[in-house]
Homo-oligomer: A and B are copies of this chain.
Amino acid sequence: MKKTQSNVVTSLRQMILDGELKAGARLAEIPTSEKLGVSRTPVRIAFRALEQEGLLTKLPRRGYEVRSVSTEEIIGAVEVRGVLEGLAARQAAERGLSEDHQKALAVLLEEGDRILAVKELSESDLEHYQQMNKRFHDIVIEAAHNPAIHAALSRNEHLPFASASALAFDKAHMLREAKRFEFAHMQHHHVYHAIVNGLGTRAEGIMREHANATLGYINSPRNADQLTVISERDTQNT
Contacts and interface: CB of A to CB of B under 8 A. Distances in A.
A200 to B, nearest CB: 12
What is the total number of copies of this protein in its complex? 2
A87 B83 contact: yes
Interface stretch (A74-82, A112-120, A173-181): A74-82
Given A83-B84, A148-B156, A152-B156, 8 more contacts: A44-B45, A48-B48, A76-B149, A80-B146, A83-B83, A84-B152, A151-B155, A154-B155
A73 interface: yes
Contacts of A48: 45, 48-49
Interface size range of chain A in the complex = 20 to 34
A198 interface: no
Contacts of A149: 76, 80
Contacts of A83: 83-84, 86-87
Interface string A61-93: 000000000000100110110011011000100
A152 B87 contact: no
A153 interface: yes
A182 to B, nearest CB: 28
A54 interface: yes
A150 to B, nearest CB: 9
A151 B77 CA distance: 9
A18 B148 CA distance: 22
A80 B153 CA distance: 10
Contact of A79 (B49, B54, B148, B155): B148
Closest 7 CB pairs of A and B: A76-B146, A76-B148, A152-B152, A77-B148, A151-B155, A80-B148, A83-B83
Contact of A152 (B45, B146, B147, B155): B155
Contact of A153 (B49, B152, B159): B152
